[in-house]
Structure 1
Amino acid sequence: MNNTTLNSYDSLLRVLYNQNKLTEYANLAHDASYEYYFKKDYPKAIKYALEEVKYKKHLSVEKQKNSLFNLGLFFFKNEEYSKSIDTYNLVTDSFSVDEKTYRAYCENAKNYQKLGDYYHAKNYFRKGLARPEQISTKRLPLIYLNNITLNQVIESKETLKENAILLNKVDSLSNIITLKPGDYYSLLNEYGIYYSSPSPTYNFEKSKYYHLKALKTSIGNNDSLRIVASSNNIAKLLNLEKKDSALYYINKAITFAKKEDTNLAKLYLNRADFFNNKNKLHEALKSLNTALQLTLPSEIDTSYTSTPDLKLLKLSNNKILTILILKEKARYILENVTHSKNKELLNIAYKNIIVIDKLLDIVRLESSEKESKLFWQKEASQVYALGVDACYKLEKPNTAFYFIEKNKALLLLENIVKNNTQNRSVVPVSVLQKDLDFKKRIYALENKMSISSNTLLQDKYYSLKIKYRAFVKTLEKVYPGHYKLSQPLDLINLKTVKNNLTDGRVILEYILGEKNSYVLFISKEKTLLKKLSTNEPLGLSINKYLKLISKPFNNNFDLEECRATSKNLYATLFPFEIDSILKKNDQLLIIPDQTLQNLPFESLNKDHKYLIEDFEISYAYSLTFLNSNKSIKRDAPHSFIGFAPESFNYDHLQTLPRSKIETTTIGNQLDGLVLLDDSATKEHFFSKAKDYKIIHLSTHANANDSIAPWIAFKNEKLYLNELYTTKNQAELVVLNACNSSLGEMNAGEGVFSLARGFFYSGANSVVSSLWNVNDKSNSEITTNFYRYLKEGKTKSSSLRQAKLDYIHTHSLSDVSPYYWSSLILIGDATAIYTSYNVLFYIALALLFIAILFFIIKKIKFVGNNS
């Protein structure tokens, strides 16, 4: 068969088909597909592989599986990633489990990586490597190295740790087997990249050593592709240290690189970085545009003033690189243009940011895994910070509002919209139940893994994640309105926000960037965008202040230190022009960002007065979320349910004697249902909470466990992810438990806290805590809060008054912010109960109307009779 010319394959196949020799037909098609594959003619390789698969039933089971595996590979090489995924799924789902099964999972990981769904790719790698002993030793190094490459894209603390482990595994394997030249090069290259990663692993000398060794290896193998890749990595490292020699490696690599080499665009990106370090902006922008051209399928205007059309950008062969190039273009301009006089350059930056935003919307819609969406939201967060920077320099505060809103809680908003979409009604109950069952099983395994993990548990978990994704993918086509958003969500506009503001109420919306941070002030009459000025990084100032107020003051020195720190922080967060306007108002709605979400603004001290003494304060994740969440119809039939376990059956959790008194008192005030001790179970929470307007939980919680935050019931813990499978109709949830507003911070999305979990499941507002609360003071404040709420005050006014009562009735150390400022109100701040005064005036008005009606009738009667 080796002497068979490629042109004769079709005629030979026809002969075999006519003779009904279908086994021979399939075998010949196999040979043809491989021959074209090695010639890199992937369309023809696919053509003959499909012929082989068509008659695979005439082959042995092993050959059937092999034919599908090869077809998946050919689709991947031809950049038909979705078809490759479907084909590899047939390998994993249609045959008994063997080495090819696990390899197919790992190949699909590469497909999802190419599609930008990075965390779904991670699931496939983890599933494929759940049983590494099933994969031959000679194949493992390349799979580990591919996994490392994916981790470098994700670039988190976890993936950095994992890469250290994977590199050691490949190193260990190299002592057992001789690595293929390509695998040995990749090992050196990945070590070089690992040591060039941000702190704590950054080590210039080690990174340089491995990259130079990789370059020497690629030169020895006469491998031009890898010579280019290594030279590029060396240049990138040298750019980090701002060394002139970076340009030598860049220019040398450009001469080696072929036009189709994906590293060529990265070389020009590095070239741009070099010139930007030298303050040669125009040279940097030219290099960026050349880099951009290399990621796109057709010619663009490469002058630095141009911005490519979105339709063309959507066709990019590497969207993450395209976004990075456009982002760097905006960043270079904004860092070099320090004032608003150069409008032309600033407008170029602004246009780039607008088009990146639209491209990011498309990429996010294509992502399926929550973690992949979070990855893209993190990328977007940097873009939106640049957008606000551009708006500040272009004096466009109204436009800045869009970018600040886009930077907050989009994923939560997306989930709320999907959970409450009108299309939900068309989804059969059985399908919704199956979806819920999948989620519950996945979350249960996550919670088990957070306590103790093993290979079997991980294998089950990643299998279930993959099956669930396949289930959802099928349903996306049938019920698109419920399972997948077809377009980006609309954000609330500034005009609507202003129209909805009541007199005396203003909004402060923050965005914290890597270099610059801003606050947007919104009142009925004004919109001001102000830059935050600080002598030290804002995050450090906030953490220093939080450390001071999260414990009682022991002496006068503690008090004075806190006041001084608070004064400086106040001056940063409330620039002078905004501070002077604030005095005319009495209600603040704060939309914090990043570490500001851990800060109780009411505790800030100015002129020996706390902010709460002058203002009623509430918080929201974003104005779009606040508005959307308020519009949801909630009609719970009952008023109040309180849970107070008091003592616990596990983990030696401390008894909470005050919780019983507190919850009983509040329950009596509101004529509600109180579940104490043995009745305060997780099962009762699941079965009853959905029917109540107010849900009160007085118990233990732990959000410091960022893997699995929990809240304690009598018999067991309720984990954050379990809240995602429940529904409530609560106007208010009160979490009188420690740290219930804390959790894992995700850039551009916010804190994944227990409070957020209750919003996800339906709450309109949540009162939660920012640190380990004091049982006595919290109980006092909470009880008074409900008393004021019952009187008809708003939620924000009730919480403020309860805190002021505490401040005015205590002294010395007991009045430390530690005791009273931990509880904050997030979400809708309006009243739940109608004020008695309002009821009185309504009754009076009705009586007046009735009397007036009676008088008019009497006059008419007298007139008719006269």
Structure 2
Amino acid sequence: MKNLRKIFVCIVWTLPFWSSAQLSADELYKELDHLVAKPTIENLQRLEGYCDNFNLTVKSSNQQLALVIARANLGYYFERYGDLSKSIDNYEDAYHRFKSNQLSDYNIYENAAVPLAAIYIRQGDYLKAEELLIQCASHAKDTADNSLLFNTVLSLSALYNSTSRYERSYLLINETLKKKGIPPSMAAVLKNNLATAYFRAGDFEKAKKLLSEIQVLAGVDLVNTYKSLAYIALKEAKAEEAMEYFEMAKSTLLNKENVSARDWVNLLVEESELLLELGYTLEAQNNLHKALSVLLPSHSGQDLPDETILFPERNFLRIFDIYAATTESVKDALRAYDLAFYVANLIQQDYTSQETKIIHQADIKHRTEKCLNLIWKHYSDSKDTNWAEKAFAYAEQGKASVLMEKMVLIGQNNEKASALENLQSKRDKITDQLLRAQFKNLDGNILDAFISELADIDWQIKKVRSNLPKMLRTELDLVELQQKLKSDEAVLQSYFLGEKSNYHFTIDNSGIRMYRLLETEELSPYILKFVHLFDSPEGINNDVPNFTKSAHELFEVLQLRYALRNNHLVLIPDGLLNFLPFESLLTEPTEGTSFSKMPFLAVSEKVAYAVNAQQYLTSKSNGGRKSVLGIFPIFKGSSEELSYSEEEAKALGGTMSTELVMESQATKNNFIKKAKNHDLIHLSTHAGSGDFIIPAFVQFYDDLLYLPELHSLDMSGKTIVLSACETGIGKLQKGEGAISVARGFQYAGASSVLFSLWKVNDQSTASLMSRFYKSLSTTTSVFASNHAAKLSYLQDENVPNSKKSPYYWNAFAYYGALDSYDKTNNNFWWWGTSLLFVGFLAIVFGFRKKLH
């Protein structure tokens, strides 16, 4: 009887789920109508449950379409209630279901794609938003759908404004406004976006003229118009006028029907920013608490919320950043910034492309600078190393974090992580194909096909990632770092270059110290002056006294003297310092012109570089004799011929067991195929740093290898030697460093990379590489051999003084483990001595035994 009762209870409990799974398309529409008639959170969740169960049995096209329409509406209502994660999930489901099942009779672009792109923009996922909007624009053009076109232009212009592409915004909106039949309300919002572009570009008069035109239109929403006028008044130092306009925006919003939670939170946050600018910190803070109470109904009181109840919403970033600026307590300010970092990391996890992630590193770096400024005041007064440790943790957490995330993924080595890695690789390959199609100005339908394929892969990436744990940033273990530095007999010097303030940290086994550098306005000219000396060989040789003066001045300005405690130095550059040949700096002033007698940093220190402390900490030596692949296109008979590259190949083949791939055989596909079988890859070729349109690349005999395709390759654990020009140069991204060929190989999994910082000389490079491989053949240490090759060249009496300028011998920087030749020799000596001693004891004891 008891069992029968249990069965009855189970049947009753599962009945609503079973019956909802058996719903017809018509019944699902009825549930949707119920939500539209009464859009409460309970009805919203009810429809979501029905959709989840309906999805289990859906088969026919009619059923699929019913589910598409229901999901699109769920996306709309979840956004209104402020749950952007669920809104995105439902919009994406609707869009991909519609496309994959080739459905019709529903405007999926208007009802799902455009609003989804608008949310992507709000969440900062600009690349995905642009890809989606390009598809919308193409469909609007093909179908002459003006309504879709206007809405697409509205979102695209908002995207361009958000990414500082104001000229594109001008052209797009002005061209659209020429069209006939634009509804007044749409014309108003388009003009408001145009005014925003002018305002952000600094043209206040054009912006005000447009906003005045909007104000006289009848029946249009003026909330954003008044807010824009308030910001302009603030920039023009008209505080009272700014507040008046904002009050008008506020009252206009409150008089609207069905004001969404999102609109109300946005207004509260924007008002807080305005109040902070005007010095009303208490009022700004009160507004922030109101906004938090809307976003987090479970949170109450005037304290900051616990991070466990936060979710990926960009308004949180603004709230916590403003809160930190309104409090006088350093502890509370840092707590607010910590919450902002936490939310930024949650948002970052939802991005599928590294390009989008990199864009947002600038915000993280800006926030980090504020944290360091707060901490410096206390550290400089107290010299308490706890403050220095805290500052170092902030400086490191946002440094090259996109690159490190990929390294962590590669290191996980499990089925789910491999599936995600394969999808990301596929995405990079398609991105490369899209890039090449754009260069060739191929048909728009081909571009659309690639963009559509990217959207489908993003959808798959999101599904796979949902089954993986969130890769939250972990704090660096400083004790472990110091132990490694002790083992490596090294000092680490890490730099942080901000918009205004600059710092560096010096760490060894004895402790950590924090120092403040010159402010950016003073520091940058020193760095740029020195870097530009390496634009050509004449830059140094034509004025040696100028070089020696600059080289020692910058050594002192960068406070490198604090790091000269051991023979090994690990440098973590930042900003412009990524392009600086540190080893060319002079540790003492000198008046001589003989380069071989100058006190270069390279003479006193063996230098290795790292993108951040975590990379150095986890770096491992690829010990043992290496299997080498040498790629030498040479380009004989062309204007790009590398005449000394052949000598370089002979030197490599003569010292190492190497597979040489020469001239016409040195194709891109041959490189990709053969690289799998070797653990050291030498590329002697041309390379380029790219620009704002063309990414960095490596040149092969038949083709270019652009960064996106390079990112898709598997270079796990390999050592890469890039004997080519500017392989360490690329577009500088705040927090992430130079997006260069060298970084491309690191992103593909290479454990160590040797690369160039300028257009290297063909002859001196061949000589350096010959010396490098001669050393490597006996030491197996890339780190030690790079250093030995430089000193060997500098001290070679057969090389004339004019060719001993650091332009010729110091182009190559090494990122990797400190697998030192000295340490190898010391270990060998220790073991050898130990074995001899054991042997000696054995003989002695054996002799004594015979005597007995």
Q: TM-score, normalised on structure 2? A: 0.84
Aligned partner of 2:198 in structure 1 is: 195
Distance 1:815 1:448, change over 3 A: farther
Q: How does 1:8-157 map to 2 (within 5 A)?
A: 33=32, 37=36, 65=65, 68-69=68-69, 71-79=71-79, 80-81=86-87, 82-96=89-103, 100-103=107-110, 104-113=112-121, 117-135=125-143, 136-153=145-162, 155-156=163-164
Aligned partner of 1:240 in structure 2 is: 235
* 1:445 is aligned to 2:434: yes
1:675 partner letter: V
Report Cα offsets for 1:419-467 as digits up to 9, x if no partner: 2313139968xx9878755653443333343454541232021111112
Distance 1:120 1:659, change over 3 A: same
Aligned partner of 1:181 in structure 2 is: 184
* 1:365 is aligned to 2:349: yes
Partners of 2:24 and 2:63 within 8 A in 1? no
* Secondary structure in structure 2 of the residue aligned to 1:783: helix
1:239 partner letter: L
Structure-1 separation of matches of 2:522 and 2:140: 45
Unaligned runs of 5+ in 2: 1-18, 80-85, 380-386, 591-598
Aligned partner of 1:251 in structure 2 is: 247
Structure-1 separation of matches of 2:421 and 2:394: 35
Partners of 1:648 and 1:715 within 8 A in 2? no
1:423 partner letter: N
Selected match of 2:454 from 426, 442, 465: 465
1:449 partner letter: Q
Report the alpha carbon displacement of residue 754 of structure 1 after superposing the two structures with TM: 1.2
Distance 1:278 1:540, change over 3 A: farther
* 1:853 is aligned to 2:842: yes
Aligned partner of 1:340 in structure 2 is: none
Distance 1:789 1:538, change over 3 A: same
Structure-2 separation of matches of 1:702 and 1:215: 51
* Secondary structure in structure 2 of the residue aligned to 1:825: strand
Report Cα offsets for 1:54-84 as digits up to 9, x if no partner: 79x9999799748733651343223341123
1:348 partner letter: D
Partners of 2:682 and 2:721 within 8 A in 1? yes
Q: Kindly, what percent of the aligned residue pairs are identical?
A: 23
1:407 partner letter: G
Aligned partner of 2:609 in structure 1 is: 619
Alignment length, in residue pairs?
Answer: 796
* 1:645 is aligned to 2:633: yes
Partners of 1:374 and 1:746 within 8 A in 2? yes
Partners of 1:99 and 1:134 within 8 A in 2? no
Report the alpha carbon displacement of residue 132 of structure 1 after superposing the two structures with TM: 3.2
Report which stretch shifted further, 497-506 or 839-848. Answer: 839-848
Structure-2 separation of matches of 1:659 and 1:607: 37
* 1:628 is aligned to 2:612: no
Selected match of 1:687 from 649, 658, 673: 673
Distance 1:98 1:630, change over 3 A: farther
Distance 1:31 1:450, change over 3 A: same
Aligned partner of 2:654 in structure 1 is: 668
* 1:752 is aligned to 2:744: no
Distance 1:648 1:227, change over 3 A: farther
Distance 1:242 1:66, change over 3 A: farther
Aligned partner of 2:169 in structure 1 is: 163
Partners of 2:541 and 2:805 within 8 A in 1? no
Report the alpha carbon displacement of residue 495 of structure 1 after superposing the two structures with TM: 1.3
Report the alpha carbon displacement of residue 364 of structure 1 after superposing the two structures with TM: 1.9
Distance 1:418 1:819, change over 3 A: same
Aligned partner of 1:310 in structure 2 is: 307
2:184 partner letter: P
Aligned partner of 1:607 in structure 2 is: 589
Q: How does 1:153-552 map to 2 (within 5 A)?
A: 153=162, 155-156=163-164, 159-173=165-179, 176-177=180-181, 179-197=182-200, 201-217=201-217, 220-221=218-219, 226-244=221-239, 245-258=241-254, 260=260, 262-279=262-279, 281-298=281-298, 300-302=300-302, 306-314=303-311, 319-331=313-325, 345-395=329-379, 396-424=387-415, 439-476=428-465, 480=467, 484-502=468-486, 505-534=490-519, 536=521, 538-552=523-537
* Secondary structure in structure 2 of the residue aligned to 1:662: helix
* Secondary structure in structure 2 of the residue aligned to 1:195: helix
Structure-1 separation of matches of 2:802 and 2:93: 65
Structure-2 separation of matches of 1:838 and 1:614: 22
Report which stretch shifted further, 852-861 or 768-777. Answer: 852-861
Report the alpha carbon displacement of residue 700 of structure 1 after superposing the two structures with TM: 0.5
Aligned partner of 1:593 in structure 2 is: 574
Q: TM-score, normalised on structure 1? A: 0.82
* Secondary structure in structure 1 of the residue aligned to 2:199: coil
Partners of 1:720 and 1:754 within 8 A in 2? yes
Partners of 1:742 and 1:751 within 8 A in 2? yes
* Secondary structure in structure 2 of the residue aligned to 1:518: strand
Partners of 1:75 and 1:83 within 8 A in 2? yes
Report which stretch shifted further, 126-135 or 274-283. Answer: 274-283
Distance 1:426 1:186, change over 3 A: closer
Distance 1:215 1:696, change over 3 A: same
Distance 1:241 1:98, change over 3 A: farther
Partners of 1:646 and 1:657 within 8 A in 2? yes
Report Cα offsets for 1:652-674 as digits up to 9, x if no partner: 66011211111221221123222
1:777 partner letter: S
Report the alpha carbon displacement of residue 380 of structure 1 after superposing the two structures with TM: 2.0
Structure-1 separation of matches of 2:24 and 2:781: 79
Report which stretch shifted further, 432-441 or 344-353. Answer: 432-441
* Secondary structure in structure 2 of the residue aligned to 1:514: coil
Report the alpha carbon displacement of residue 228 of structure 1 after superposing the two structures with TM: 2.8
2:534 partner letter: I
Structure-1 separation of matches of 2:449 and 2:636: 31
Report the alpha carbon displacement of residue 821 of structure 1 after superposing the two structures with TM: 2.6
Cα RMSD after superposing both structures: 3.8
Structure-2 separation of matches of 1:169 and 1:636: 64
Structure-2 separation of matches of 1:792 and 1:547: 34
